[in-house]
Amino acid sequence: MPRIFDMRMADGSRHFADLPETYDPVQPQWYALRDHVGALAGASVRGFVTDDVTEAWLDFDYRGQRFSINNQHGQWWFFVDDPICPDEVLATVLDHFETLLDPR
């Protein structure tokens, strides 16, 4: 699968990327993700919810776009509300979170 893809959701949003999830009950990644938004210049958290056990949703704004991240099936799924958001913006978001989630 390409690094950035175009999978349209029923609500019209675009699922554009996945990164691996590493579950650590002592230091869950969802709080690190939430805090990492602030390191992306111009990004701001719009919403954050977790059950502190299995799942989290993180919503943030960046460059006039609305993004969401959710963990599913051992991965973090990345969504953008506007399905025609420029790939350059999507790549910037993915690059930013890749340094945290998949630093290779």
63 pLDDT above the threshold of 80: yes
Q: What is the pLDDT of residue 1?
A: 54
pTM of the model: 0.94
* Assigned architecture for domain 7-101: 2-Layer Sandwich (3.30)
Q: What is the pLDDT of residues 6-55, one digit of tens each?
A: 999 999 999 999 999 988 878 889 999 999 999 999 999 999 999 988 89
Q: Quote the CA–CA distance of 53 and 67 in Å, as a whole number.
A: 23
- Percentage of residues of the chain with pLDDT beyond 90: 82
The pairing of strands 65-72 and 56-62 is: antiparallel
Q: Which pair of structure tokens corresponds to residue 41? A: 């210049």
Which residues, 6 or more positions from 56, have their beta carbon under 8 angstroms from its beta carbon? 28, 30, 33, 34, 48, 49, 50, 69, 70, 71
